[in-house]
Amino acid sequence: MAALHKRVPAHRADEELDINPVYFREKSCEIPRYRLPERGVLPGTALQVVRDELILDGNARLNLATFVTTWMEPEAEQLMAECSPKNMIDKDEYPQTAELERRCVNILGHLWNAPHAEAIGCSTTGSSEACMLGGMALLWRWRARRKAAGQDIQRPNMVMGSNVQVCWEKFCRYWDVEPRYVPLVPGRYHLGPHEAAAMCDENTIGVVVILGSTMDGSYEPVLGMNAALDTLQASQGIDVPIHVDGASGGFIAPFLQPDLEWDFRVPRVASINTSGHKYGLVYPGVGWIIWRAEDYLPQELIFKVNYLGGEMPTFALNFSRPGAQVAAQYYNFLRLGFSGFKQVQQTCQDIAMYMSSEIAKLGQFELLTDGSDLPVFAFKLRDEVTGYSVFDVSERLRMRGWQVPAYTFPDNLTDMAVMRVVVRNGFSMDLANLLLDDLRLHLRILDHHPQTQLPPEFQAMRQSFAH
Query: Same structural domain for residues 31 and 125?
Result: no
For residues 98 and 240, membership in a common domain is answered with yes
Q: ∠ CA(78), CA(69), CA(44), 5° rounding?
A: 45
**Same domain assignment for residues 281 and 261:** yes
Question: Nearest-CA neighbor of 282 among 212, 344, 339?
Answer: 344
Domain identity same for 301 and 230: yes
Asked if residue 4 belongs to a domain, the reply is no
Encoded amino acid at 45, one letter: T
CB contact set of 453 (below 8 Å; sequence gap of 6+): 386, 387, 388, 389, 459
**H helix or E strand, kind and range, residue 122:** strand 120-124
Parallel/antiparallel/unpaired status of strands 303-305 and 287-291: unpaired
> How is residue 318 annotated by DSSP?
S
Is 63 within the bounds of a domain? no
What's the one-letter identity of residue 235? S
For the entire predicted model, the pTM comes to 0.91
Collapsing DSSP to helix, strand or coil, 3 comes out as: coil
Residues 85 and 48 reside in one and the same domain: no
Q: Is 57 exposed, middle or buried (0-12, 13-18, 19+ CB in 10 A)?
A: exposed
pLDDT computed for residue 467 by the predictor: 41
What is the domain count for the chain? 2
What is the percent of the chain with per-residue pLDDT over 70, rounded to a whole number?
A: 92
> Which of 214-223, 306-315, 455-464 is predicted most confidently?
214-223
CATH of the domain at 407: 3.40.640.10
Query: Same domain for 293 and 438?
Result: yes
pLDDT in tens, 326-375: 999 999 999 999 999 999 999 999 999 999 999 999 999 999 999 999 99
Residue 33: which domain range? 10-57
* Same structural domain, 83 and 232: yes
Answer whether 244's CB lies under 8 Å from 398's CB.
no
DSSP class of 373: S
- Looking at the domain assignment, is residue 450 inside a domain? yes
> What percentage of the chain's residues is helix, strand, coil (to nearest 5)?
40, 15, 45
One domain, residues 112 and 257: yes
Residues 197, 250: one domain?
Answer: yes
* pLDDT at position 466: 46
The 10s digit of each residue's pLDDT in 114-172 is: 998 899 999 999 999 999 999 999 999 999 999 999 999 999 999 999 999 999 999 99
Residue 5 domain flag: no
Q: Which residues on adjacent β-strands are paired with residue 417?
A: 408
Looking at the structure, do residues 243 and 287 belong to the same domain, yes or no? yes
1 falls within a domain: no
117/24 same-domain check: no
DSSP state string for 51-64? HHHHTTS--GGGB-
Same domain? 27 vs 111: no
Amino acid found at 217: G
